[in-house]
Structures are given as C-alpha cells and as structure tokens.
Amino acid sequence: MTTPNRIPYFKPEKAGFFSNDRKWKKDVCKPLNNPQARILMDKAPSGWTPPPPPPKVEEPKAVKEAGKAPDTQLPDPPKPAAPAKSKDDDDDCRTPPPFDMLDLPDAMEKMGFYVAAKLSRRWFNGRKNVIGNASDRYPDDMVDSKTVSLAFTLRYGGAEAKLRTLINKGIYTDNAIKALKLDIHRFVSKQFMGQNIAFSGEIDPWRLSNGDIQKLHKDYQFQLIKVTDLETLDENAGPTDITASLGNFFYMAAIANAKIHSEKYYDYAGVAPRFCCRSRVEVTQIYVYARDSYSFADKPGGTSSQYLGHWNRYGMILVPAAVVADTINNGIGKRAATFNGVIIPTRRPCRLFMTTDSKSPLIL
C-alpha cells in the first residue's frame, strides 16, 4: 500500500558491478513543497553574452517621503499561532542542491547516455536557429552527420526492426514506387526539355548532388518509416541513449544508383504530333539513413509539454503518472516532427523497375 502523500517512481540501478546494463527499480517519494526546488537557468551558454542590466531609475522624492516610517512606531501585531506539524511535515526534504539546465549533459553521462550528452552540449552551445517549413534547407553548420552513426541506432531492437521493415517491405510499396518515378521523372525531364537529350546511362545521385546530403534528400528520397521513442526503450521500459538522443526519428530511403534507358518518339494522339521521351529505369542501389530534428518545441495549441523525466545532477527518474499524462496529452507516436538534423547514409542493394514519360510542350 502506498503511503499517503507519496507517489511511486522508477529509478535506474546497475545490473552488476561490471555491467553497464541498468534495471529500473520501483520506489516511492514525496513531492517537494518548496518553491526554491526548481531548475535554474543562471549559467550562460558558451559564447553567449548576457544583455546589460537596465539603467537604475532614481525614485521621485515624494515616493521616498511616503515610504519613510512614521515617527510614532505602532506596536507589532500579535503573531498567529504556528500550525501543528504532522509527521509528514517532519519528513519534508531540505532544499536540494542547485540544478542548472546546463548541468543536464553531465547528468546524461552519469546515466550512460553519452551520445545524448554530446548532442545536448552542442545544442546548448550552438547558435540560435529558427525552424521554418519542413522543406526549408538548414544552414550547413546545423547539419551533424558524425555524432550519431547508423550502427548506434541499430543497437536497439525496436529501431533495427523498423529498418528491416523499410528495406524489406517499405521501399516496394505503391507509394514508394510512385515517389521513385517522380524523382527519376524530374531528372529525365530536365535533360530532355533543357538539352533535348533522351538520357540513357547510369546516374549517381550523390555525385549529382555534389556530395550535399540535404540536396540528395530533397531530390532523391522516396520512402521513410518512423521510429517512436516508445520503440527504443529497454526491456524494462526505461529510456536508452537513443531515446534521450533522438526521441522520435525517421529512417529514410533515397536512390543511390539507377540505370536509365530512354528513347524518343512522336505522339500523334493530339491535333499536332508531339516530340516525347519514354524512359525505363532500374534502381540498383539505395541509401538508407536516419534523419531527425534536434529541437524542443511544443505542438501549437498543445496543453502540455512532452514529459522527459525528472532530472537532477545525478541522473533521472520516471514517474508513471507523468508518463501516462504525457501519453494522453500528446498521443502515442503522434508528436509533430520535421526531417532535418542528424543524417547517417549507407548503401543497400535494391532492384526496382519502372517506366516514366517526359513530354515536351513543343508542338511539331
């Protein structure tokens, strides 16, 4: 039975002295009834200069005179009797040590979340960047392709299962084939309508994108699958390093190599014949990469923020009531996200066939 004024929570403990695995042990705690127990924001991030304090304004003389104590001092009112203390009041904790927001990366490392700590430090020490539309290009210095590796994401069974679903099923769906056709159609149309060339040969989208991962994603990405934070929890339903690093993220598929065979022909179906180009495409390789936006923003019109645990300088605990409330308020796997930030490319063999037509507006 739970003690009155106590709430249950789960705290991580090492499974063994030589093990890095953690088990989540249930315990109870009493919420602090202390206004000083809060997360501070006093420390300045690296490279940030605080604004100068506002100039002091001297009070008018009339206000000073009004604030003076009267010559005749009135007796102090009688003090009210102190309320009787209960045993529960005696158990109140003292004010905990100060915990500043910039202490969070150190706490993440103590939890074993080393990748999350790196990303958090970069975010705290980085410059301001306002996210626009999901299709907007990010500044180059806001794209990180080194901190998170594909191998890191595949350490977690839920993420690995989603990647297998993407490459074994997702890339062969009707929607994926339709998106592939549009990607190839744009390339062939540009060659045919711009240079009057019915392109035949192999294309290397990475070279065509000049090694720009954002351009590759915009021009040749054709399928994705979402990995939610609930799918990267450990066997005890506790958060892992990838949960703390990325939360919800996406695996993406883009064209890595394709063979195109095109032929010109006349279309006589209309009033006047039209000079056209028909192409057959074989996609032989694809890129698979993870993509995520490292940002902290509540949904517009939302009633609460996403619950990310209760933290102090030593780590974190999870309160089930807060987890349930977050699930109800924000929805399971329905939180908004944009596709920019962490990018990890790799190659995966794949053979897909399609045909696409490019028709010139030129009337002959």
User: pLDDT tens digits, residue range 167-212?
Assistant: 999 999 999 999 999 999 898 888 877 777 788 889 999 999 999 9
User: pLDDT tens digits, residue range 220-241?
Assistant: 999 999 998 889 888 877 888 9
pLDDT-based confidence at 66, cuts 50/70/90?
Answer: low
Q: Are 328 and 156 in contact (CB under 8 A)?
A: no
What is residue 285's predicted lDDT score, i.e. its pLDDT?
92
pTM here is 0.73
Which of 237, 232, 230 has the alpha carbon at shortest distance from 10?
237
CA atoms of 322 and 308, how far apart (whole Å): 9
CA atoms of 292 and 150, how far apart (whole Å): 13
Domain positions in the chain are 142-295+338-364
Per the prediction, the chain carries an average pLDDT of 76
Measured from the Cβ of residue 108, the count of other Cβ atoms closer than 10 Å reads 24
Angle between helix 174-195 and helix 213-220 axes, rounded to 10 deg: 100
CA atoms of 250 and 282, how far apart (whole Å): 25
Mean pLDDT of 118-129: 87
CA atoms of 344 and 224, how far apart (whole Å): 14
Q: Indicate whether 350 pLDDT > 60.
A: no
